[in-house]
Amino acid sequence: MKFQSTVVAIACVVVGLTALADGATIKHRDESKNKNNNIKNKDKDKKDDRNHNPYMLSAAEERFSSCGNPNSDFFKVDSISSNRHLCSGCKACIDIGGSLKGRIEKGAQVRLKITKFFLPVYEKTFDLCSILEDTEGDVRCPIEASNNHLHACIPLDTSIPTNIAASSTLSAVTANYEPLFCITGNAMIESNCPSDACDQ
């Protein structure tokens, strides 16, 4: 009887130690998993920070939106990011993400129209190829259908009224006058900008 009790006691101790070991293993596994997740999240945050251009507005801050027809426009706009500062006498750059239905040939045009209380205060047409730039700043045209990103930089003439909230619209057409894209939003052309604003 005493021998049986001893065996039972030893068995209970072994079971208890096994449970503790299993618990420690699970805890260690969970801690390692959480640590790995934290590292991945930190790496993702760092990557997002590296990819974010401080001179450009984020999606949440963006003032412009598409005013085109995604079913008929030659370029279907999915995302827009414009300069944080729109400065008189400087270039205003805008990144447009989306998809092209075909190749954009030379002769495409884009029109900038600025209105205040529905009255035009500035209007000018540009050659689209002359204002489209790649990451190195080189003009690129024609634009292949495989391209899903346009980076346009439009010079803001000093004659444009400054420091007033106005509606700005960019409407582009192909060389065959097919609707290419349309972007509109309320923005203010600034007369006094940060010293490096024109270097964006």
Give the tens place of pLDDT for each residue, 138-156: 557 888 888 888 999 999 8
- For 97, the 3-state DSSP assignment is strand
Averaged pLDDT, 102-128:
92
Top pLDDT among 33 and 83 is at 83
Report domain extents, the chain. 73-190
CA distance 68 to 171: 8
pTM: 0.68
- The structure tokens listed for 52 are 């974010």
CA distance 143 to 164: 35
DSSP 7-64: HHHHHHHHHHHHHHHHHHHHHHHHHHHHHHHHHHHHHHHHHHHHH--TTB--TTT--E
- For 129, the 3-state DSSP assignment is helix
Tell me which amino acid residue 191 is: S
Alpha-carbon separation of residue 196 from 61, 132, 154, 157, 182 (angstroms): 20, 21, 17, 18, 29
Strands 109-116 and 165-173: antiparallel
Averaged pLDDT, 171-182:
95
Averaged pLDDT, 82-96:
89
How would CATH label the architecture of 73-190? Sandwich (2.60)
Decide: 110 and 128 in contact? Cβ < 8 Å: yes
- Residue 7 reports pLDDT greater than 50: no
Top pLDDT among 85 and 40 is at 85
